[in-house]
A and B are shown apart, each in its own frame.
Chain A
Amino acid sequence: MKHTIQALVENRFGVLARISGLFSARGFNIISLAVGETEDPSVSRMTLLVDAKDERILDQIKKQLNKLIDVITVVDLTGKDFFDRELMLFKVNFTKENKKDIDKLAKEFGAKILETKDSYAVIEICSDQHTALNFLKEIKPFGIKELVRTGRIAIIK
């Protein structure tokens, strides 16, 4: 099961290596990870989307993260009310024939067409992950040439 976990960490070099090293050493599965400075420049916030096959593993992920000296707090957002966002940029095949359909889909999902070239369009979607993934599913049949994702970030309401 997927869980969104947030960790407040010291904003120091090497912290990301400690966390990614922990996940690989212990065989935990990480789907996405987004890091950035917070309102306090000495602290960074990491939002991790992890896949834990059972409670025991989830529990271990949280405990092992907490055990790292540079980790200040760990919160599992599962069951909490939060906003989540993911930004995706992608290039999709773009022709006269599919222009109308792509425009319509973009409008429906609140995506932005940033630029159109002869053979492709660059599209941006920034939404909750569920919506973004649905949009991706709809747009896929047109032919995606390149996809860039930030991974999930979230904030508790």
Chain B
Amino acid sequence: MTGAEIFVQSLIKENVEVMFGYPGGVVLPIFDKLYDAKIRFILTRHEQAAAHAADGYARVTGKTGVCLATSGPGATNLITGIATAYMDSIPMVAFTGQVKTTLIGNDAFQEADVTGITRPITKHNYLVKDVKHLACIIKEAFHIASTGRPGPVLIDLPVDVQNAEHDFVYPETCRIRSYNPTYFGHPGQIKKAVKLIAKSKRPIIYAGGGIIISGANNELKELSEKINAPVTTTLMGLGGFDQRNNLSLGMLGMHGTAYANYAIMESDLIIAVGARFDDRVTGRIDAFAPHAKIIHIDIDPSSISKNVKVDVPIVGDAKNILSELNKLVNPCESKDWLKQVFDWKEKHPLSYKNDDKIRPQFVLEKIYELTKGDAIITTEVGQNQMWAAQWYKYSLPRTFISSGGLGTMGYGFPAAIGAQIGRPDKLVFDIAGDGSIQMNIQELATAVNNRLPVKIAILNNGYLGMVRQWQQLFYHRRYSQTKLINPDFVKLAESYGAVGIRVSKKEEVAAAIKKAISIDNTVLIDFIVEPEENVFPMVPAGEAINRMMGGMA
């Protein structure tokens, strides 16, 4: 078998149903074999979109996303997508073509040192120098990408390795002596955590993306209800705890709810699960939660005590550890605390001016209402992302798909394509800004060609809104390079064969959303929203997170 055939057969062994990518010179042998293979191939219009689509697919299905690009520029175009997946712990295997092994290092045509470039943004990477190692490397790559703290793995495949012959034997198992993630929490640490919980009067659970990755949402609900602790989630944790639950405080941090930020600051115990105390969450680190002891559950030991000092670290899988905890914990005496928290919740809800203008928050509320909260929401990055996080109520894991760590503009639409392919049964909405959408607008072709009924809701304020907001608040309204002169998005959609709808009056919002949902095609809705609306509350960078500005009813 040739290396290219081994590649295809290995992916079949890994149950890969779909891959995203773009052809090129040195991956011709692979594309030739893919021509007859029973793996669905989604041709994007830019390699970056292939990586984001594989990532979106992985986030909604929990399976490993796969993308493929050629050497040099093809590979470098994947970089943003790989880095996005790396920051958010998304299982992905990215394949890149490489020039002939004999040419490597000679500055050959379309050559780039891709394993060198991707080293800091992959969980691991490989350059395959000999076809006899190929099957084993693919097996290892899928294993590493999907286990422990997941992440992207890259395999660089020189063209002569794709053409070289070798017997195909796919390894049944995979053992890497230096890689043994810890899945079960240390019983001694769990006992210590139980003791801390027993003493707590003001507990709060702070849950991150780890809940979703490990599928621990039921265990999380059980813990919070058992110990009477409210739950706040990070951006990545949205969907990990039903926001309709009374104990839900929504998202915390820079654009979190006031009540979540107050609660974490006043708590005496933080149970952090699968979250990493990112600067957007903690604000000024030395002022963060001054009275709280911290229990930190995470599968990645290096996440523990990285930003804040932890009292009880428990390394392992969130689902396993929470179910152990649930067997041992008793209710906290947190009646007064909950009263206080509910009081904050009532006094300081998220709010916006409900007038006759189209406010983006209103659009999100309508989308929530008309999709009955059952859609998969992807987002771009910026104000659109924060409004999508604040105003749509997530109740199920894997329904909020957003670039959290890297904050990648242009992520949402290709991710929506991947999400729609992974979940054809679901309605997928990309909440976009007029800036972000143009970073991967070319994917309208991919969506239309594949008959994907993805809905794009552009909250069109004519600005790079989040940067404009910072300029307004911190740079004396000097809107340097944030005003956008945009194309006609409706015509643009139509030219790709998608449906375009423009909404410039508030009373048209609901009808447009309904219409979009009813159309079995890619639909772009261009909501002309209030240009200078801000995302509030907001904690200025470097401030303590209870020092919020704006939006405080």
Contacts and interface: CB of A to CB of B under 8 A. Distances in A.
A143 B116 CA distance: 41
Given A56-B305, A67-B300, A25 B176 contact: no
Contact of B123 (A14, A17, A69, A72): A69
Contacts of B178: 9-10, 69-72
B302 A67 contact: yes
Nearest to B178: A72
A18 interface: yes
Contact of B301 (A22, A25, A66, A72): A66
Interface string A93-118: 00000000000000000000000000
Nearest to B148: A67
B179 A69 contact: yes
A64 interface: yes
Interface in A52-74: 56, 59-60, 63-64, 66-67, 69-72
B306 A17 contact: no
B144 A69 contact: yes
Contacts of A64: 302
Given A17-B119, A60-B302, A63-B302, A69 B309 contact: no
Interface string B435-457: 00000000000000000000000
A90 B119 CA distance: 37
Contacts of A72: 177-178
A36 interface: no
Contacts of A66: 301-302
A69 B176 contact: yes
A69 B124 contact: yes
Given A67-B300, A69-B179, A72-B178, A25 B144 contact: no
What is the interface residue range for chain A against chain B?
10 to 19
B512 to A, nearest CB: 46
B120 A25 contact: yes
B115 interface: yes
B89 to A, nearest CB: 12
Nearest to A8: B178
Interface in B279-328: 300-302, 304-306, 309
A25 to B, nearest CB: 5
A63 B124 CA distance: 16
Tell which of A14, A22, A64 has the most Cβ of chain B within 10 Å. Answer: A14
A18 B115 CA distance: 10
A21 B301 contact: no
A18 B116 CA distance: 9
Contacts of A18: 119
Contacts of A56: 305-306, 309
Interface in A1-45: 9-10, 14, 17-18, 21-22, 25
A59 B177 CA distance: 22
A21 B120 CA distance: 7
A56 B309 CA distance: 8
Nearest to A22: B120
Interface in B166-198: 176-179
A10 B179 CA distance: 11
Contacts of B123: 69
A60 B209 CA distance: 21
A14 B115 contact: yes
A60 B306 contact: yes
Nearest to B122: A69
Nearest to A59: B305
Interface in B335-362: none
Contacts of B116: 17
B246 to A, nearest CB: 37
A60 B309 CA distance: 12
A72 B120 CA distance: 19
Contacts of A17: 116, 119
Nearest to A18: B119
Nearest to B304: A63
Contacts of B309: 56
A110 B302 CA distance: 43
B56 to A, nearest CB: 25
Nearest to B149: A67
B391 to A, nearest CB: 37
Nearest to B115: A14
A71 B177 CA distance: 9
A56 B302 CA distance: 11
Contacts of A14: 115, 119, 127
A17 B124 CA distance: 13
A67 B302 CA distance: 8
Contacts of B124: 69-70
A1 B179 CA distance: 29
B305 A21 contact: no
A22 B121 CA distance: 11
Contacts of B179: 69
B324 to A, nearest CB: 23
A92 to B, nearest CB: 40
Tell which of A10, A56, A63, A69 has the most Cβ of chain B within 10 Å. Answer: A69
Interface string B116-134: 1001100110010000000
A63 B301 contact: yes
Contacts of A9: 178
A65 B124 CA distance: 13
A106 to B, nearest CB: 43
Nearest to A42: B177
Nearest to B179: A69
A39 to B, nearest CB: 16
Contacts of B302: 60, 63-64, 66-67
A137 to B, nearest CB: 38
A21 B179 CA distance: 19
Contacts of B127: 14
Nearest to B177: A72
A140 B177 CA distance: 47
State the 3 A-B residue pairs at the shortest beta-carbon distance, nearest first.
A63-B302, A72-B178, A69-B124
Given A21-B120, A67-B302, 8 more contacts: A9-B178, A14-B119, A17-B119, A21-B119, A22-B120, A66-B301, A70-B178, A72-B177
12 contacts: A9-B178, A14-B115, A17-B116, A17-B119, A18-B119, A21-B119, A21-B120, A56-B309, A63-B302, A63-B304, A67-B301, A69-B144
Interface of A: 9-10, 14, 17-18, 21-22, 25, 56, 59-60, 63-64, 66-67, 69-72
